[in-house]
Amino acid sequence: MKAEAKGTNAGEYPMGLTEGSFDVGGTENYTKVTVTVNDGKMKIGRRAVTFTSDSATKEYDGTPLTAPHVTIGGDGLAEGENAEFTFTGSQTEVGSSQNKFTVQISRSSVVDRRPAPVRRMMRLMAVLLSVDEDSAEQENEPTGAPEDNYDITYVYGTLTAAVVVQQQTRRQRSISRWLSRRCSARAE
């Protein structure tokens, strides 16, 4: 008797054991045996992942400041899954704002890396045996939205456009004082 729980996505998967899974009959020694089954289960937990967008600062120039980069932390993404980011954060005027983004997690398409003769032989065997090779492979493919398998934390960086105040050089201060004295002398 073989009991097995299978699963790919986060969740609980029962083994499917019932009283009928056990055959204790066939001899007189087991006439008073009562089978009680507590079905086992397998639990797959959600992965904790953190997406952190970059922060950036620049001198105000009237053009949008963006920082389209995200660092993936925590447990990271599961093998075979990718994240695509769309950035909505930008800062054009003097000030600061969050570098916001959205994320779409997807499963990568598996590339068959078997040599061409092996792929041809597998297709031929599938035809001869009347097996739908694609449906057989899809039987073990995970279903559901990949995001359901994660506890996601978003950390938004800060975008800052600032006015840079330049310090006056000694010559500029000297000219400024001279102009100030000259203008006050004329005003009298």
pLDDT tens readout for residues 17-67: 877 777 666 667 767 777 778 888 889 899 999 999 999 999 999 999 999
Looking at the structure, do residues 17 and 107 belong to the same domain, yes or no? no
pTM summary value: 0.62
Specify if 146 maps to a domain: yes
Specify if 176 maps to a domain: no
Average pLDDT over residues 142-148: 70
User: How would you class 70 by CB atoms within 10 Å of its CB: exposed for 0-12, middle for 13-18, buried for 19 or more?
Assistant: buried
Instruction: Note down the domain range covering 11.
Output: 1-45
Looking at the structure, do residues 6 and 89 belong to the same domain, yes or no? no
Residue 179 has a pLDDT of 75
At 76-133, the pLDDT tens digits run: 998 888 899 999 999 999 999 999 999 999 887 554 556 666 666 666 666 566 544 4
Cα 48 to Cα 6: distance, rounded to the nearest angstrom = 22
Cα 61 to Cα 64: distance, rounded to the nearest angstrom = 8
Specify if 29 maps to a domain: yes
Confidence at 178, pLDDT banded by 50, 70, 90: confident
Domain termination site, one of 45, 64, 80:
45
Residue 35 has a pLDDT of 72
Residue 60 has a pLDDT of 92
Residue 140 has a pLDDT of 41
Residue 136 has a pLDDT of 40
Looking at the structure, do residues 70 and 24 belong to the same domain, yes or no? no
Specify if 87 maps to a domain: yes
Looking at the structure, do residues 25 and 100 belong to the same domain, yes or no? no
Average pLDDT over residues 1-11: 79
Residue pointed to by tokens 């398409």: 109
Residue 135 has a pLDDT of 45
Looking at the structure, do residues 105 and 144 belong to the same domain, yes or no? yes
3-state secondary structure 79-145: CCEEEEEEECCCECCCEEEEECEEEEEEECCCCCCCCHHHHHHHHHHHHHCCCCHHHHHHCCCCCCC
Residue 105: name the closest of 149, 46, 55 by CA: 149
Specify if 119 maps to a domain: yes
The CATH number linked to 149 is: 3.10.430
Residue 137 has a pLDDT of 45
